[in-house]
Each structure stands twice: as C-alpha cells, then as structure tokens.
Amino acid sequence: MGRMATEEYKLEQDRVNWVVSQIKAKIQSVSAEYDKAHAEMKLVQQNYSANTSVNYIEVDDRIETSAELQQQRALASRLIENESIIKSQLETYETLQQSPYFGRIDISDPGEAETEQLYIGTASLTDNDENFLVYDWRAPISSIYYNGTLGEVSYETPAGQQTTELKKKRQFLIQNGHIESMFDTNETVGDEMLQHVLGQQNDETMQNIVATIQREQNDIIRDTRSDLLVVQGVAGSGKTSAILQRIAFLLYHSRKELEADQIVLFSPNKLFSHYISDVLPSLGERNMRQVTLAEFLSQRLQGLNVETLFDRYEQSVDLSAEQQAVRDFQESATYMAAINDYCQQLKPADFQFNAILFDGRVFFSREEIEAIYQKLPDVHPAERFLRTKNVLIKRLKRRIASEAKAKWVSDTIDQLSDEAYHDLLGGKRRHDFQQLDDEVAFIARKIVTRRLRTVYDAIYNNYFLDPYRQYSAFMAQLKLPASVSSSTFAERRQAFNDAIEFHNCPLVDAAPLLYLRDLLTGGGQNFAMKHLFVDEMQDYSIAQLQYLHQAFPKAHMTFLGDSQQALFRSVQRPEDLLNELKAAFNVHRPRLLKLNRSYRSTYPITTFAKALLPDGNDIEAFNRDGDVPKILISADEAAAIKSINRELTRATATQGTAAILTKDLDQAHDVYQKLRHLRQDVTLLTDTDRSLPKGVLVLPVYLAKGLEFDTVICWNVSETNFNDDRLLGTLYTMASRAMHDLVIVSIGAASPLITKRELPVGSLQIEHELSN
Ligand SMILES: Nc1ncnc2c1ncn2[C@@H]1O[C@H](COP(=O)(O)OP(=O)(O)OP(=O)(O)O)[C@@H](O)[C@H]1O
C-alpha cells in the first residue's frame, strides 16, 4: 500500500492519456452522428408542421391526412428516441473523458499463464475491435473489485459461478484526465481512497459512490435473490447511497425487463428527493419514481387532507399510556389482519352502502343496492362488489333507454343547432343508420347519457359504498386486545369520525382505511411496479408497510432504516422487525443486512453521537480527523443567537454548507427571525421546499432526514427543551447530519440526554457563556 513509484505512476498516466484519446475520437464521431440525427429530426418536424396546416374541408381528405400524420408522428418519435440515445452516449463519453476509471484488477484464470488487467469505471468502453478498455462497475467480473481480497476469488456470471485468481487491486482518483492519486490494496476497497473522498466538502446534491463501495454495501447493491431485503444501517452508513447504486445495478442487470419507472422509492420529504436526484443520471441511468408517503396516501384519499408525519410530529401531544397503546395497536399487523377478516366475513346487511343521487333525488336507493348485493353468489367480496357495480350500470342503461323516449328529450332534439347535432353524432355518419328514426333514437340516448353522466361516474368511482362509515363500523365491532382499553379506543373512533366530518384523515387511520376500501372494492393495486424501496423505514408503521405491499403486490421490497433515528417512536430490534414483516407479508426469501460503519461524520462526531445511545457500541466510526463537537451553554436566547452567528461566520468562511436544526417548525421560525437581523444569508426551509439554497439553512430536524451538511448547529438542546427520553432519536438524528463540524447550543443547563450519559473523556468540548 501507499504511494507508488514514479515509474509505475507514469505507466498508468500514459494509459489514461491513451484511453482519453480514444474517448475523444469517439466523442468526435458520435457528435457528427448527433448533428446528423438532429438535422433529420428538424426536417421531419418542418414537414410535419407543413402538413398539419392543410385544410380540412373534405372529410375524406381528413382521414387520409391523419393517416399520413400518424406515420410522420411515429417517425418523429423514433427519431427523438434515436437522438436521445446518441445524446446520452455522448454524455457518458464526456464523463469518462474526465475520469475514465477508478479501479484496476489483475486476474489470471485457472490454466492460463497470462495475467489480464481489467480497468473498472462508471460505464463500459470498448475500442473499435470490441476490446474492453473499461468495464462497467456492474459487470459480473467487476464484483471482484468490491468483494475480493487477493488470492482465489469467485464471481457470479449468467453462466454460473467462475473462479479466478486476483493478483492485484489498484485504486485511482482521476480528475480531468489526470491521476490525482493511486493506491494498491489487498483489502476490499481500501480506506485511503475513502479518506480522500469523505474528506471533501459537501455538495448541494448527493454523489455516486461507485469508486468506493464497501463490501457490506455491495451485498445490498447486488442482491437479486431476496424478495424482502431489510437493511438496518446506522446513521451515515450509506443506506441511501446503497439504494441508488442498487437501482443502477438492477437496471443494468435486467436491462431488457426493467424500466426506471417500474421502480418506486418512498422518500422522507421533497428536499431529499431533490438531494438525490443527480446520482442515477451521473451513472447514465434514468431516475426511478419518487413519492412521499403523504403524497401517496393523499392521492388515494382524494377529497381528504391526510395528516402528515410532520403534522403529527409537530403536534406530538404527549399521548397518555392508554392512547399510546391504541396507537401501537392501530399500527400493527394484527390490526390489518383484523381488517382483512372483517372484510372477508362482512354480511351484506352490514355493508355501508350509499344511495346514488341525481339532482338531489334518490336514483338508486340503499335498499336497492343492498338487494342487488344480497342476491349475488357468495364469492370474494371484491368480486361481488364488482358484479354489483355491473348490475348497477346495466340498470342505468335500461333507465337511459326508457328515459330517451321522454318528451323533454324530443323537445331538446328539436331545438338542437346543426352543430350540436353533429357533435352528438360523434364518429357516426348518416349512412350508418338504416332509418332516420334510428338516428334520432341514437341522439336521444346520447342526450340522456350525457345528462346522467354524474350517476355513471358515481357508480364507476364506487361512491355507492361509504368507506369511512364502513371503517368506523369496523372499529365499533372490533374485539380489542387486553392492552387496549375500550373507552380509549371508542374515543379514538370518535376522533376519526370527527376528522372525516371536516375532510381530514388522521395518519394512523389512512393505511388501514385504504386497505379496507381496496379489499371491499377490489381496486388500488399496481401490478406493474417491480421494485419498491422505502428509505427511513423506521418512520413507517407495520400497517403502512403492509399497505404498500398490498398496493404493489408484484414488487420486490427493499426497506432501509435506522431504528435509532425514530422520531417519537420506541426502538425495535431489526430481527423482530424482519420476523414481523415476514409473517405479515408472506414472503419466501427475506434477508436482513446490517451496516454498522458510519462514513458521513468525522471520528470525533460519530464517537460523540454514538455515546448518546444506550446501544451505541455497535456503531463503528470511520477514522477521519476533525474537531471535537462543542456545546455552548448560553444564559439566554439573545446570547445563544449571538454565539450561533459567530459559529456561522467561522463555518461559512470555508464555503461549506451549514444548517441549524431545530426540534420543530416553531423553533425554526423563531431562530430564523432572530438571525435574519444579523446576517443576510439565512433561509428558513419548510416542507413545501424542494431544493436546498446556498448559505445558512434553518430547518426542523424531520426535514433534514437523510441529508447532510458540513456544519450542523443543534438548536437549544437544553434541560427544558429536550426533557423527554423519546427525543433521543431526534437528538441523534440532528447530531448525525454533521460531516465535519458539530455545535450544540443550549440555553441554560444542557439536556439530561447529554448530561446523564457517561460521555468518554474529551469527546465533547463545553463552553459556558455568561450573559452580557
Ligand atoms: N462507500 C462509500 N464511499 C464513499 N462515500 C460513502 C460510502 N458510503 C457512504 N458514503 C457517504 O457517506 C454519507 C452518508 O451516506 P448515506 O446518506 O447514504 O447514509 P444513510 O445511511 O442513508 O444515512 P442516514 O440514515 O443518516 O440518513 C454520504 O455522504 C455518502 O456519500
């Protein structure tokens, strides 16, 4: 290990130069190709717009033109696709030109005398004879680079397992075509390169980590077997990074069967979505779909305001022990199982059917709908519901047919303008009808159908079932476990009813309610989604995860989280969690992986952060130098603001990112208002923000989930402000956002969460400030 002899270095730089020259040549030829494709595209577009301006007087002409137009359109879209393929190729070459590769492995296959040298980069590159100059990091052979120590190694290929001998492993840092550093290592991926990468300053968006993926991370990235992969990883261990590289890997691995939009990631907030948005494009892949749980639930509960996790966190009213027990119950798999049982056994008379109204009058009465349901055979509830729907539509059609004979309809027809009449004829023509009467009857049905559109929509959208009343009825008949008091549960049910009255839906009820609705009406399932990722899974209840599984029944699941970062929730052992999920999901190949090494923060920061936790010993700090975290005890708020300002001036002098994290939004507002008078570069972030502006940011901790900053200042971790054990996860999340510097501010005595812990000597620097 260590820096290499100059001669070796020169040889490698020569190779880099040679590869770069090959890339340059490729860029030239592809650019020419691109220009050609672009010109072709332009031509078709011009042609297309010339064609679209032809006049439409002759009806038969119109048909011909539209066939021609369709052809043109197809041609145009093929050209657009072609152009975008060439463009992304060009982009790949341009990235490779800066840094063609980051690794080299020397291998010798059994029985062969020769040693082969393979270079590994973010994308593959071949010369004109199809020889690999650079291997894609996701190629089967590249796994050796991440997994193998020197000596005999094996790797998976589509043709089965192969073995080879790994003779050398070399890492490079190449920038602008220049080798900045290079190391030989016999470890998986050596620490020196990692030191170098991690020591750098934070960017506005996350970077890919392909050059330095660690062995445990590689296991997550390349797992293609598991149908449920649960990752418990400590703060800063690379969970989010692993998700993104895994997606890139899967897209490569199943190039033919998998598209980026068949992958969905549930992310903690919008800032986070923006933060990670560059990683996949930097690897030449399209981004997956991203959604927050709140967005997903609200979209499915249209017309209701679904309480967000943040709303709930903000109002974290101290729940009584009984209320907590009710919440735990409602978030459990048992509760979801009870819903399933209820739906399977629901008697027709217990269905909460709604009458369908038209113009304020009953069109289909409750009794009629119930009678239809009652008469149907006792099949699966969703199936029976669907058949009910079909009967209703049939009856609607019959009523339309008879209503079409009504006098008001013929009166309406008499008064139709020619234009309106033709409009109603739609695609039909005069000679489509045998007699004029038929045509008039057709128009009459059209008129009535249009008028009764709202009835049709109501049937189509399942409005004849009231899922809210049904859910409430479910709660009313539920047999409660011993831990739950019936009066507290009755209060909870009342709270749900009241919320619905005001078009609100409590978060705890959203997933169970949707589950019930989907089971009874047979909707809400997306069979096209092939992979479901959940980041920060500790903020989801089992019930919510179970609903996601129900909503994406065909998706492989990868759930990642850190139980220690739970906000206002008790910590659960990952093994228990996996077992619970396994039972609830009925999966075949579950797997639990752990990441214990933390890369984000310096050694002193991780050492301090882990000391806060009762089970912090599992956390392994990555060895990177830095200052010891500091706690500033101020006498009052004004003094605290002043000292923050001083710290910020120091922190921003180095161009780094700095964030002040608060317990909740109110405090973020407050700090922002005070600080704004002292400096111009401060921004307050709220949950509608989608990007991270430059300068100093003030934000509540839950919006900082998954993010990182060079300097973090934790606001007012005092005895009074952090006086609850349940805030430990909050404090730990705050502290673990810091990459290089961590400052904790406390007005008055510090929180017992810090003072009661036996912190290792010298792990925290304490400064008392007197008021002035
Ligand atoms: N193998 C690696 N090589 C280089 N950098 C890495 C590696 N693994 C993680 N990192 C860096 O460590 C930081 C933390 O990674 P990431 O955000 O993925 O962790 P996380 O487990 O999702 O964290 P948290 O749960 O605290 O939000 C990032 O800056 C990431 O780039």
* pLDDT(55) > 50: no
Q: Is the same domain home to 416 and 441?
A: yes
Label residue 700 by pLDDT band (50, 70, 90). Answer: very high
Q: Is the same domain home to 644 and 668?
A: yes
pLDDT (0 to 100) of residue 1:
40
pLDDT (0 to 100) of residue 761:
81
Q: Is the same domain home to 331 and 408?
A: no
CA distances from 575 to 231, 469, 594, 670 (A): 10, 37, 10, 41
Give the nearest ligand 1 atom to 707 CA. Answer: 27
pLDDT (0 to 100) of residue 49:
62
* DSSP notation for 157-210: ETTEEEEEEEEEEEEEEEETTEEEEEEE-SSSS-HHHHHHHHTSPPPSSPPP-G
Ligand 1 pocket member 212 (CB < 6 A): yes
Of 474, 216, 178, the residue nearest 352 (C-alpha): 474
* pLDDT(429) > 60: yes
Ligand 1 pocket member 103 (CB < 6 A): no
The more confidently predicted of residues 542 and 434 is 542
Q: Is the same domain home to 115 and 212?
A: yes
For 202-205, the CB contacts below 8 A with 24+ separation are 202/656, 202/657, 202/708, 202/709, 202/710, 202/739, 204/275, 204/657, 204/692, 204/694, 205/274, 205/275, 205/276, 205/277, 205/278, 205/279
Confirm whether 253 is domain-assigned.
no
Of 187, 196, 233, the residue nearest 214 (C-alpha): 187
Ligand 1 pocket member 233 (CB < 6 A): yes
Label residue 770 by pLDDT band (50, 70, 90). Answer: low
Ligand 1 pocket member 599 (CB < 6 A): yes
Label residue 68 by pLDDT band (50, 70, 90). Answer: low
303-317, 455-469, 610-624: the lowest-pLDDT one:
303-317
Of 631, 712, 645, the residue nearest 678 (C-alpha): 645
The predicted model gives 369-393 an average pLDDT of: 91
How far apart are alpha carbons 122 and 101 in whole angstroms?
7
Amino acid letter for position 38: H
Question: Structural domain tally of the chain?
Answer: 5
How far apart are alpha carbons 397 and 456 in whole angstroms?
9
CA of 162 to the centre of ligand 1 (A): 31
263-267, 446-450, 524-528, 650-654: the lowest-pLDDT one:
650-654
pLDDT (0 to 100) of residue 2:
45
- Model ipTM value: 0.98
Ligand 1 pocket member 657 (CB < 6 A): no
Residue 669's region, left for phi above 0, alpha for psi from -120 to 50, else beta, is alpha
> Mean of the per-residue pLDDT values for the chain?
88
Confirm whether 498 is domain-assigned.
no
Ligand 1 pocket member 236 (CB < 6 A): yes
Ligand 1 pocket member 237 (CB < 6 A): yes
The predicted model gives 374-393 an average pLDDT of: 90
Q: Is the same domain home to 624 and 716?
A: yes
pLDDT (0 to 100) of residue 166:
92
CA of 178 to the centre of ligand 1 (A): 26
Q: Is the same domain home to 637 and 748?
A: yes
Q: Is the same domain home to 717 and 644?
A: yes
- Final residue before a domain boundary, out of 65, 98, 131: 98
How far apart are alpha carbons 48 and 68 in whole angstroms?
10
Of 737, 694, 691, the residue nearest 271 (C-alpha): 691
CATH of the domain at 704: 3.40.50.300
Label residue 61 by pLDDT band (50, 70, 90). Answer: very low
Ligand 1 pocket member 124 (CB < 6 A): no
Structure-block tokens of residue 349? 């008379």
Confirm whether 567 is domain-assigned.
yes
The set of residues, in sequence order, having a beta carbon less than 8 Å from that of 137 and lying 6+ positions away, is 103, 120, 121, 122, 145, 210, 213
pLDDT (0 to 100) of residue 58:
41
Confirm whether 115 is domain-assigned.
yes
Q: Is the same domain home to 166 and 209?
A: yes
172-223 residue pLDDT tens = 889 999 998 888 887 655 677 778 778 776 677 888 888 888 889 999 999 9
The predicted model gives 128-144 an average pLDDT of: 92
Task: Return the top range by mean pLDDT from 429-443, 674-688, 756-770.
Answer: 674-688
The rounded radius of gyration (Å) of the Cα atoms in the chain is 32
Q: Is the same domain home to 71 and 197?
A: no
How far apart are alpha carbons 53 and 71 in whole angstroms?
16
Ligand 1 pocket member 708 (CB < 6 A): yes
How far apart are alpha carbons 356 and 459 in whole angstroms?
8
529-585 residue pLDDT tens = 999 999 999 889 999 999 999 999 999 999 999 988 877 566 667 788 888 888 888
pLDDT (0 to 100) of residue 656:
81
Nearest Cα residue to atom 30 of ligand 1? 238
How far apart are alpha carbons 645 and 233 in whole angstroms?
34
**Could you tell which of 209, 214, 282, 601 is best to mutate to test the pocket of ligand 1, judged by most ligand atoms within 8 Å of the CB?**
209
Confirm whether 242 is domain-assigned.
no
Ligand 1 pocket member 736 (CB < 6 A): yes
Nearest Cα residue to atom 5 of ligand 1? 209
Q: Is the same domain home to 557 and 621?
A: no
How far apart are alpha carbons 751 and 677 in whole angstroms?
28
Ligand 1 pocket member 602 (CB < 6 A): no
* pLDDT(716) > 90: yes
- Final residue before a domain boundary, out of 222, 252, 269: 222
How far apart are alpha carbons 461 and 367 in whole angstroms?
19
pLDDT (0 to 100) of residue 63:
47
282-294 residue pLDDT tens = 888 889 999 999 8
The more confidently predicted of residues 420 and 489 is 489
The more confidently predicted of residues 193 and 659 is 659
Amino acid letter for position 452: L
Q: Is the same domain home to 669 and 687?
A: yes
- Domain of residue 588: give its range: 289-339+503-595
Q: Is the same domain home to 546 and 402?
A: no
CA of 766 to the centre of ligand 1 (A): 29
Query: No. of H helices and E strands in the chain?
Result: 28, 26
Q: Which residues belong to the annotated binding site for ATP?
A: 233-240
Confirm whether 347 is domain-assigned.
no
Nearest Cα residue to atom 29 of ligand 1? 600
Give the nearest ligand 1 atom to 202 CA. Answer: 29
* pLDDT(318) > 90: no
Confirm whether 229 is domain-assigned.
no
221-248 residue pLDDT tens = 999 999 999 999 999 999 999 999 999 9
pLDDT (0 to 100) of residue 62:
45
- Final residue before a domain boundary, out of 595, 629, 653: 595
**Could you tell which of 145, 240, 267 is best to mutate to test the pocket of ligand 1, judged by most ligand atoms within 8 Å of the CB?**
240
* pLDDT(31) > 60: yes
Nearest Cα residue to atom 13 of ligand 1? 600
Confirm whether 525 is domain-assigned.
yes
